């Protein structure tokens, strides 16, 4: 069975509108998911930076007590 590509069925206006709305809906889902991903990554990265900064602040008195110079 081979498909004849010379005869393409035209979409009606209702089918076109339905298809366009489905594509728009999928685009909105992708946009929302990417926004949540970027927001969560920014939150996690800032928490990681605060943790590293706190760990560095805790180590500073140890180095000064040992006589190390930074």
34 located within any domain:
yes
- pTM of the predicted protein model: 0.56
Mean pLDDT of the chain: 80
DSSP string computed for 8-66: -PPPPHHHHHHHHHHHHHHHHHHHHHHHHHHHHHHHHHHHHHHHHHHHHHHHHHHHHHH
Domain contains 47: yes
Residue 2 has pLDDT above 70, yes or no: no
Q: How far is CA 26 from the centre of its chain?
A: 16
Domain holding 59, by residue range, is 24-70
How far apart CA 70 and CA 9 sit, in angstroms, is 75
Q: Is 19 domain-assigned?
A: no
pLDDT reported for residue 11: 84
For residues 70 and 63, the answer to whether their CB atoms sit within 8 Å is yes
Domain count of the chain? 1
């Amino acid at each position: 069975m081979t498909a004849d590509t010379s005869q393409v069925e035209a979409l009606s206006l209702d089918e076109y509108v339905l298809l366009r709305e489905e594509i728009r809906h999928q685009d909105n889902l992708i946009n929302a998911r990417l926004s949540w991903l970027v927001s969560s990554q920014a939150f996690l990265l800032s928490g990681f930076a605060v943790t590293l900064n706190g760990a560095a602040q805790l180590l500073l008195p140890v180095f000064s007590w040992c006589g190390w110079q930074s």
